Structure 1
């Protein structure tokens, strides 16, 4: 495993992190979830990402139990706040002070820890003054419950505003968590340049495009049984956008490129996002321990310019670049 600094901070994180969106508390049984976390630890992953909304708080609780007994100082635990949790009352969502403070305290209990290394605003909240949001985060930092602050899926203008307030409040705003993959590059034209200027790194989710970049989905054929595209509890909706014959045919053309550099399709996809110097970590998920063991082999891989150009040529015309789709 290799490590990268998050933003301009002193926090080093594993360049491949483990996330439990969709899987823990819903898609896989707890024993299997614990096995995946053990595989991540065995592979050298120290960074674990979750959110209170995942499986309506159950994913945090599963991760807390899975990490119990590990040396806390050797882990970086990230979670998020914004989406509705609990019974869905008027203050059970968003980035108002009440929801942020109460959510942070509840997350700490579920994760069985006194602090989280990174607390992230899961989306931008247009209904609450940004000053209120950032002050609540600042108070959590000063209380020692949060070490660093990040955002997720904010656009460039929102990140710039948040960073300005963070400087005024002396809050370490150091990360953004966007979707990013060979197929989804909407952060490249505006978000990444803004973040580079502000000293913010990307922690990217869905580097394998919900499994599409593994090559397991074949054009003209139904999705494999048990795959995310057959998961009625939520996974199916997220992967649907990629399941067109045009996209799937192009993805199959990536196979000889992956073979040429000695990588699986999934490893190539994860390695690709890590070539961007503004990316500090790629989040991988898993429903089986062997998926973790395989995908983590993308750590430390360097792809040369010729390989990157071949990938761009294969995917030309099907990649989403529109910056309006960030945030």
Structure 2
């Protein structure tokens, strides 16, 4: 079964492998398959589920809510997010204004068919709305019992520090950050992780297998396999074009196979186990387009990669790893 880790300095425990439905539920896979994937996650011992209102333009929340119907609510940890525009995309249907946050949480709860979410996250940093307004709105969401904890996603170290200071003043538990993190994308290691350790936040990381690139199924100078994310024209291919168009990245990923073989792991399991070696990571978010992918990927839980093999991974990937902390800043739009 999947192991649990504490989220930040809070008392909340979550499964170190968390199921997320970005780019799948409501878009890439049919509802029946999406439900089967959620059931597979539950069968494997996953109790933590991550989504966002913007995924498939709210459809992902609806599918997840239906899939979890009938489960004991207290036995689940449900996360969602707010920031990006949904629906008709009016002037106030975006960002982290008080209006958007308070309206969005009600929509998310209705779609998820729950009275509260365990974690409500700012999906990006809002450069337009005063941070004080944003944090006060999140505080009100918590005090109304609609969220138990709050988190952020893709915030820089300075933004996390400023947000945490205001959260502490308001008595609100800001306990997590949700960044992209993988063997290939390590931009949080230099600044975000040390700051989070200091302030008592954990990372709940997305794309631990680099949207499938670290599975090794994408070969240099070959077309993406049929049915893969790299062949998906609904948005999946665009999301991983950075890696798929770089032949050196694909070649170096193939050099990881001997390490995976030595540990008795698949390439995907190795990638997930690798992010979980970071003690500031509370959970790695996995997605799936087939139930069997969930059953396979949860086998990364509890795996320890010896230091010498961690070093071999670094040597194999070399300078294709992206580690510039400035990349986090670029993930939040200056205007919305």
Name the TM-score, length of structure 1 as normaliser. Answer: 1.00
| SS at 1:280 equivalent | strand
Q: Secondary structure of the equivalent of 1:119?
A: strand
Q: Deviations over 1:119-148 (max 9, x none)?
A: 000000000000000000000101100000
Q: List aligned pairs for 1:1-327, cutoff 5 A.
A: 1-243=2-244, 244-327=246-329
Whole-Å separation in 2 of the counterparts to 1:157 and 1:120 = 17
Q: Distance in 2 between matches of 1:299 and 1:313?
A: 24
Residues 295-326 of structure 1 deviation map (CA, whole Å, 9 limit, x = unaligned): 00000001110010000000111000000001
Q: Distance in 1 between matches of 2:137 and 2:239?
A: 31
4+ runs deviating over 6 angstroms: none
Structure 2 gap segments, 5+ residues each: 330-336
SS of equivalent residue, structure 1 residue 66? helix
Count of residues paired in the alignment: 327
SS at match of 1:315: helix
SS at match of 1:316: helix
Unaligned runs of 5+ in 1: none
Map Cα deviations across residues 43-96 of structure 1 (whole Å, 9 max, x no partner).
000000000000000000000000000000000000000000110100100000
Return the alpha-carbon distance in structure 2 between the equivalents of residues 74 and 68 of structure 1: 12
Provide the alpha-carbon RMSD of the alignment: 0.5
* Residues 226-276 of structure 1, C-alpha deviations (whole Å, 9 max, x = no match): 111111111111111011210111000100110000100000000000000
Separation in structure 2 between the aligned mates of residue 241 and residue 285 of structure 1, nearest angstrom: 19
Report the alpha carbon displacement of residue 203 of structure 1 after superposing the two structures with TM: 0.1
Q: Residue 80 of structure 1: SS of its match in structure 2? A: strand
For 1:248 and 1:86, locate their aligned partners in 2 and report how far apart those are by CA, in whole Å. Answer: 37
Aligned to 2:334: none
- Whole-angstrom CA distance in 1 between matches of 2:54 and 2:238: 17
3-state SS of 1:317 partner: helix
Q: Secondary structure at the match of 1:10?
A: coil
| Aligned counterparts of 1:148 and 1:202: Cα–Cα separation in 2 | 14
Q: CA deviation at 1:220?
A: 1.2
